[in-house]
Amino acid sequence: MSADERGRAVRLLATAAHDADDLRQLLDLLGLDPAEGLPDTRQSA
């Protein structure tokens, strides 16, 4: 799975989860890291 796909998966789970604990469990189950859902803030030079 690409980094973009992983980020979209994290954001999708965040919208579907009932609460923070539910989200944590779903992410753990799928081997995803919450930080993968954050936008890429690096800027190219």
The 10s digit of each residue's pLDDT in 1-44 is 888 999 999 999 999 999 999 999 999 999 999 899 988 766 55
User: What is the predicted pLDDT for the residue at 20?
Assistant: 92
User: What is the predicted pLDDT for the residue at 42?
Assistant: 63
Q: What pTM value is reported for the model?
A: 0.74
User: What is the predicted pLDDT for the residue at 43?
Assistant: 56
Residues 15, 8: Cα–Cα separation, whole Å: 11
Residues 38, 45: Cα–Cα separation, whole Å: 21
User: What is the predicted pLDDT for the residue at 29?
Assistant: 93
Angle at the Cα of 29 from the Cα atoms of 5 and 8, rounded to 5 degrees: 20
